Amino acid sequence: MDARALTKVFERGRRTWIQRLRREPDHRERFVAVDGIELRVEQGEIFGMLGPNGAGKTTTMRILATLLLPTSGAARVLGIDVREQPREVRRRFGAVLSGERSLYWKLTARENLEYFAALYHLPPRRTRERIESVLDAVKLTDRADDYVERYSMGMRQRLVLARALLPDPPLLLLDEPTVGLDPQAARDMRERVLELRSEGKTVLLTTHYMEEADQLCDRVAIIDHGRIVALDTPTALKRTIQAEEVVRLEIAAEADGVVSRLSENAQVARQERADGLLHLTMHTVSARDFVPRAFDAARAAGATIKHVEVVPVTLEDVFLALTGRALRE
Amino acid sequence: MAGRTGAWALEARAIVAITRKDLRILTRYPLEVFNQIGQPIYQFVIPSLLLGATFAVGGRAVGLEETAGTGDVAGFLILGMLVAYLVGAAFWGIGYSFKREMDQATLEPAWLTPVARETLVLGRGLSALVLSAIGIVLMLAIAVALFGVRLSPAIVLAVPAFLLAALAVLGVAFLISSAVLLIKEPVFWVDASDALFAAASGVMFPITVLPGFLKLVSFALPTTYAIDLLRVTGLGARPLLDPVLQYAALAMLAAILLPLGRAVFAWADRRLREQGTVGQH
Ligand SMILES: Nc1ncnc2c1ncn2[C@@H]1O[C@H](COP(=O)(O)OP(=O)(O)OP(=O)(O)O)[C@@H](O)[C@H]1O
Ligand SMILES: [Mg+2]
């Protein structure tokens, strides 16, 4: 699967027929949601798109899923152009795009799947066996004849995944597959995704949970404002930060000089004032060396460190280093 | 690769699956079944038959006899309603149902499958036809049992007209579906155009009473001819035009409306793909 210079421009606001007829200038605001995305997903990998709200992840996904036409650029799924042959492309992927609401609540899981199996053109002979197999894959066999309205959110999300698996597609597009799930259900879902890879399927997913991207993905594209700002394996991405550990400090009192003193011993990745405290995120090679020095520096500047936290480098820090902003802002 | 016939069979199977799904859901809302099938009957058919009976002289509606050539109000209305069911199926059963699917977020997953988009329209059409057929049978039973309607066997001569009108109305259903997919709040438009379409087709009155320009609209509607031919054959009413001409008009309208509807629907599908709004309602 690959995308070249993929761009999507949305027009906001309306242009009335009268404006069109009078050929008035177009005053609609143009908004670039996807801005020249280039990526190549290899067969059999789990590829993640990580980015904050509004970064353009879903839009990219919807272009690949043939729901949206790109303004320019091209994308191919298993060598087939999404713009030219959308139906051929749709034969080759299963998608979880619209969340767990997108089921018929007054039908049972099995009835939902029967309906979609026919839309997926599954041959009648194979339908029953496929339905049993996907129900089994998402562990819903024993609840298959209950109405979907009686399902928990996690079960519905699993059923949505089962639906995407019906045609046994080589490629899966998963938009925020764990959003809104409780931790256990989210963990289950991630395990399912890993199983899919072990079955040789290619998975493209979006998330704004960095842990998820880190644990699950072979490669991650970090997306911001419709652009890929970094693309590599999670390990390699984290290595771009010249640090082994991240130290978070909360410091009380005015202490103007404290930041410059601290920055002699580690790199200030971020500073923010909130609740009367100075919140600092520091990148360091060794927290063990840095933390005692931080206390000394604070004392010298007449400030008090209220809280210290040492955490490993995450993709969040990579995002922060690249954009100067936190993922969830 | 599936052969050509195989591809057709798969689309046909999808149509059946859509219908089965719609009917299954309906059986889980018994009141909704009653509403969809019964409402036109108790809200419209029975009151208008009673109203007609009020104005009848010795069982015959003299005024209607004068304008339409038949004094059988009940028969006149029933045959109009027969076609109104068809129109309702197109506007609500097909067109508006896309709105419901969008609201439930179930349209997008269907849109993501390799099924032909038109199949989604046809599948809705089949389920709407099944429901309409039940309504029609019920209505005819009431008309015959309670209002003494008697139709001439010659009405079978109008069956091809009914089928041609159904094809043309399918074209209209494609048009309405396109509008529903693109317009944010379609309920008013569907309701208003359904009512106008039915009225201008002469469901409840002979179109000869319409003012001039509306009469022009009537002659542009396939349903006008279907209703008239049913009344001519079933009740011996006076034809609006020579029946041969009417058949020609019907065939022509079907030949225009069906391809037009399909073309507009394909265009709407493309617009939707530019705007990306199939899942955002
Ligand atoms: N159909 C549309 N019409 C106009 N603008 C749109 C449309 N769809 C998305 N956008 C805009 O494009 C931008 C990118 O949206 P997108 O849904 O791709 O972001 P995202 O990365 O998936 O974010 P999130 O994490 O919130 O899901 C947003 O600003 C959004 O408002
Ligand atoms: Mg999104």
Closest CA to B280 of B105, B112, B120, B101: B105
Q: Is A91 on the interface with B (CB under 8 A)?
A: yes
A66 with B278: Cβ contact below 8 A: no
B113 with A90: Cβ contact below 8 A: yes
Average pLDDT for B117-136: 93
Q: Is A95 on the interface with B (CB under 8 A)?
A: yes
Average pLDDT for B261-272: 96
Compute the distance from residue A280 Cα to the ligand 2 centre, in Å: 29
Backbone angles phi, psi at A81, to 5 degrees: -70, 130
| Nearest CB neighbour to A120, from listed B29, B114, B279 | B114
Residue A302 beta carbon below 6 angstroms from any ligand 1 atom: no
Q: Is this complex's ipTM strictly greater than 0.95?
A: no
Q: How far is CA A323 from its chain centroid?
A: 17
Average pLDDT for A101-118: 96
Instruction: Please tell me the pTM assigned to this model.
Output: 0.89
Q: What is the pLDDT of residues B43-58, one digit of tens each?
A: 877 888 888 778 777 7
Residue A208 beta carbon below 6 angstroms from any ligand 1 atom: yes
Residue A329's pLDDT is 53
**Phi-psi map region of B118: left, alpha, beta (phi>0 left; psi -120 to 50 alpha):** alpha
A115 with B276: Cβ contact below 8 A: no
Residue A147 beta carbon below 6 angstroms from any ligand 1 atom: no
Atom 8 of ligand 1 has which residue's CA nearest to it?
A59
- Assigned token pair, A98: 């619209």
Chain A positions in Cβ-Cβ contact with residue B20 (cut-off 8 Å): 114-115
Which atom of ligand 1 lies nearest, measured to the CA of A49?
21
Q: What is the pLDDT of residues A30-52, one digit of tens each?
A: 889 999 999 999 999 999 999 99
Specify the pairing of strand A29-40 against strand A72-77. unpaired
Q: What is the pLDDT of residues B225-251, one digit of tens each?
A: 999 999 999 998 899 999 999 999 999
pLDDT averaged over every residue in chain B: 90
b/e map A259-297, b = 16+ CB within 10 Å: bebbeebbeebbeeeeeeebebbbbbeebeebbeebeeb
Pocket probe mutation, ligand 1, options A7, A57, A222, max atoms within 8 Å of Cβ: A57
- What CATH number should be reported for the domain whose range is A2-238? 3.40.50.300
CATH topology of domain A242-312: Alpha-Beta Plaits (3.30.70)
Which atom of ligand 1 lies nearest, measured to the CA of A55?
21
| Nearest CB neighbour to B112, from listed A10, A65, A104 | A65
Rounded Cα–Cα distance for residues B138 and B200 (Å): 25
Chain A positions in Cβ-Cβ contact with residue B8 (cut-off 8 Å): none
Rounded Cα–Cα distance for residues B167 and B222 (Å): 9
DSSP-derived 3-state class of residue A38: strand
A106 with B115: Cβ contact below 8 A: no
Average pLDDT for A208-221: 91
Q: What is the pLDDT of residues A163-193, one digit of tens each?
A: 999 999 999 999 999 988 889 989 999 999 9
A87 with B111: Cβ contact below 8 A: no
Residue B208's pLDDT is 87
Residue A179's pLDDT is 87
Q: Is the pLDDT of residue B2 over 50?
A: no
Residue B5: pLDDT band by 50, 70, 90 thresholds? low
Rounded Cα–Cα distance for residues A185 and A178 (Å): 8
Residue A301's pLDDT is 82
- Assigned token pair, B101: 């699917």
- Assigned token pair, B258: 């069906």
pLDDT, greater one: A5 or B117: B117
Chain A window 275-314: which residues touch B at a Cβ cutoff of 8 Å?
A: none
DSSP-derived 3-state class of residue B248: helix
DSSP for A118-153, please give it: HHTT--HHHHHHHHHHHHHHTT-GGGTTSBGGGS-H
Q: Which of A97-101, A146-150, B7-11, B87-91 has the lowest mean pLDDT?
A: A97-101
DSSP-derived 3-state class of residue A170: coil
Residue A24: pLDDT band by 50, 70, 90 thresholds? confident
Domain ranges of chain A: 2-238, 242-312
Chain A positions in Cβ-Cβ contact with residue B182 (cut-off 8 Å): none
Compute the distance from residue B61 Cα to the ligand 2 centre, in Å: 65
Chain B positions in Cβ-Cβ contact with residue A66 (cut-off 8 Å): 112, 273
B105 with A101: Cβ contact below 8 A: yes
Find all residues with CB under 8 Å of B88, minimum gap 6, and list them.
B40, B132, B194, B198
DSSP for B183-235, please give it: -SS-HHHHHHHHHHHHHHTTSSS-GGGS-HHHHHHHHH-HHHHHHHHHHHHHH
pLDDT, greater one: A197 or A22: A197
Chain B positions in Cβ-Cβ contact with residue A131 (cut-off 8 Å): none
- Assigned token pair, A56: 């353009």
